Amino acid sequence: MTDFADFILTRVQNQIGFITLNRPKALNSLSLEMIRSITQTLLDWQERSDVRAVFIHGSHERAFCAGGDIRFFYDVGTATPLGDSALLEDFFTEEYALNYLIHHYPKPYVSLLNGVVMGGGMGIAQAGPDNRLRIVTERTKMAMPEVNIGLFPDVGGGYFLSRCAGQIGTYLGLSGEIINASDAIYADLADVYLPSEQIPALMTLLEQSNTSDLRDSIRQFAAPFQQQLNAGPLATNRNALDQHFSHNNVAAIMASLQADPSPFAQQTFKLMQTRSPLLMCVTLEQLQRGQKLSVAECLRMERTMVRHCFKHGEVLEGVRALVVDKDMQPKWQPASLEEVSPELINSFFAEVWPAYAHPLRELN
């Protein structure tokens, strides 16, 4: 049995609570035990008068957090006929509850997104607008790549992606494309840029600064480096992106991309051809619904959706192809967009529990 005791390191210094994700061999992917450790730490610090802010980062330059432990999803999901195990139920319920806690955390919450930031890593980085500061570096590789494994952009993705300007969130959710620091800031999924060579100086600032506004101090420290950012692919291709991804169904989006000979459109078209047709359609519906929902409502919707995902089995096939057998040849069901019916899409949003019994019913 794996010992997760040292995968989350915590300390309080200079009235700042430091959380270090320390599972470098797995790119800091989250286990249930790690989720519980972060949750308990944040709950404890929430009540402590000697903790004025939280700073979360990874222990290694390769990754902040690559997401949830998808090999765990596969091992547990294939151990039962419908993937309906207590461990999976606990994982997603507690992960989404943590996402909600972070979004509404009452103290400044600073995340250093150095290296890979994907899936569940985004969930523990995207705090609410009143308390967050998200720092990116030249090493940042950010994505919500769930459609590549037959899942959807969860951990609140239905909320924060649907609130990106124009069709940026739709593009990121349906393509699963990786973006850099410049585009992360452009998409409002990050706030400031800092060269990774400046991280030691940043840590010294955090440990010694007596300012009452930690986020303002970090912004001032990072200000000289913002001019180093050049326009990224999102900004460069924004008009085409908004045009293609404004359609109301995935088939129309694909047709629009295919008809455009530009490198951006053709690259995106080829990328989306490898994704789960069903989950791209489900993701588009999720983002359209998410525009009108609160954080709590989005997380409740996603908790329902994830139950249907494991029951259907698409995510288990995606993880098999990507991580287990590594043949990169998932057998998606249905195999084409033409076979995805509105009824099948809507089935992923069908209520699983009555409102009073929903696992996230206490989120307000």
List, by residue number, the catalytic residues: 68, 120, 146, 154
Q: State the Cα–Cα distance between residues 140 and 113, nearest whole angstrom.
A: 6
Half-sphere exposure at residue 87, Cβ-oriented, CA atoms within 13 angstroms: 14
Q: State the Cα–Cα distance between residues 364 and 297, nearest whole angstrom.
A: 8
Which uninterrupted H or E stretch holds 25? none
Handedness of CA 263, 266, 270, 275 (dihedral sign): positive
Sole residue written with tokens 């033409």: 338
Neighbours of 59 (CB within 10 A): 16
Alpha helices by DSSP H, listed for the chain, are 32-46, 70-77, 86-103, 120-123, 157-160, 168-175, 181-186, 199-208, 214-222, 233-236, 238-244, 250-258, 263-273, 277-290, 295-312, 314-319, 342-347
Tokens found for residue 102: 């972070």
Three-state SS for 134-180 is: EEECCCCEEECCHHHHCCCCCCCHHHHCCCCCCCHHHHHHHHCCCEC
Count helices and strands in the chain by DSSP H and E runs: 17, 9
Nearest Cα to Cα of residue 306 among 239, 230, 360, 247: 360
CB 314 within 8 A of CB 332: yes
CB 306 within 8 A of CB 154: yes
Query: In this structure, what are the phi and psi dihedrals at residue 301, rounded to the nearest 5 degrees?
Result: -60, -45
C-alpha pair distances (Å), 149 with each of 177, 192, 218, 306, 330? 13, 30, 36, 13, 8
